[in-house]
Amino acid sequence: MSSVWSRPAPQRRPALTREAIVAAAIAIADAEGLAAVSIRRVAAELGARAMSLYTHIERKEDLLDLMADEVAAEVLVEEPLPADWREAILVIARREREAVRRHPWRVDLVSQRVSVGPNGLRHVEQSLAALDGLGVDELTKWRILAAIDDYSLGFTIRESLERAAPRTDGVNDAERAAVAEPYMRELIASGEFPRLAPMIERGVAGADDNYERGLNWLLDGVEGDLRRR
């Protein structure tokens, strides 16, 4: 099947454009999650008939691809990138994380769609450019970016699930803790978890946002490995 980006956009009407359709779909997903997005729902938001959307997109999968690529544009960093490769990677990684925080449904989309649009390609190209200063071959660049993406994806999935829990479970963090605490206390009192017990009972002193610290540990490992070579 042909890609949505390889098919020309139809003649536009002022009230209904491909851009307006994608913007409405993103707004729905931001507010209610990806499952709420449908051709019929987007049409209703735009005050149009569902069939009229099919003159701009052929199927819902096209809409999902266009949504993902629109958000990918938010990840692009204004150039020039920082000269230091590590700082350039950190700037791009921050933008990726911010985009997922604004659009948590991207996590669900990753497991459903693998299509990459023009903005997605620009993001990959910019990420590769960030590594130019390392002077490594294409394969090494690809491996470095894959490791960084795997780390960022894992972190943002966990973060997104934690942030979405009150909405999906119908309870907030305080209510969840109140339910969990008796169960936790019983297990901790058993003495089976001597290392975990103080963390649960007193919390972890100085605990904070660990995203960039973990990413820097990863980059330290990359740098050390390249130096050894």
Per-residue pLDDT, averaged over 152-172, amounts to: 78
| Residue 208 confidence (pLDDT) | 80
Q: Is the predicted pLDDT of residue 218 greater than 90, yes or no?
A: yes
Mean per-residue pLDDT over the chain, rounded: 88
Token duo for residue 159: 């973060």
Neighbour-count burial of 53, counting CB atoms closer than 10 A to its CB (0-12 exposed, 13-18 middle, 19+ buried): buried
Least trusted range by pLDDT, from 84-98, 180-194, 211-225: 180-194
From the centroid of its chain, how far is CA 52?
Answer: 30
What is the Cα–Cα distance from 122 to 69, expressed in whole angstroms? 10
Place 16 in a pLDDT band, splitting at 50, 70 and 90: confident
State percent of the chain over pLDDT 70: 87
Q: Which residues, including other chains, have CB under 8 Å from residue 120's CB and lie 6 or more apart? A: 68, 69, 72
| Residue 176 confidence (pLDDT) | 59
Output b/e per residue, 159-181; b: 16+ Cβ within 10 A.
Answer: bbeeeeeeeeeeeeeeeeeeeee
Query: Tens digit of pLDDT for each residue in 62-109?
Result: 999 999 999 999 999 999 999 999 999 999 999 999 999 999 999 889
- Cβ proximity of 20 and 61 under 8 Å: no
Place 113 in a pLDDT band, splitting at 50, 70 and 90: confident
DSSP H stretches of helix in 138-172? 138-169
| Residue 116 confidence (pLDDT) | 86
Q: Does domain 4-169+210-228 have CATH number 1.10.357.10?
A: yes
Task: Give the residue, 197 or 126, on which the prediction is more confident.
Answer: 126
Locate the DSSP E strands across the chain: none
Q: How far is CA 207 from CA 202, 210, 213, in A?
A: 12, 8, 12
Token duo for residue 51: 């069939």
| Residue 171 confidence (pLDDT) | 61
Q: Is the predicted pLDDT of residue 173 greater than 70, yes or no?
A: no
Least trusted range by pLDDT, from 99-108, 160-169, 180-189, 208-217: 160-169
What is the Cα–Cα distance from 89 to 53, expressed in whole angstroms? 38
Q: Is the predicted pLDDT of residue 166 greater than 80, yes or no?
A: no
Q: How far is CA 67 from CA 48, 74, 153, in A?
A: 19, 11, 18
Per-residue pLDDT, averaged over 27-40, amounts to: 96
pTM for the whole structure: 0.83
Report the residue count for the chain.
229
Report domain extents, the chain: 4-169+210-228
Whether a cis peptide bond, with omega within 30° of 0, leads into 80 is yes
Q: What 3-state class would DSSP assign to 16? A: strand
Q: Is the predicted pLDDT of residue 111 greater than 70, yes or no?
A: yes
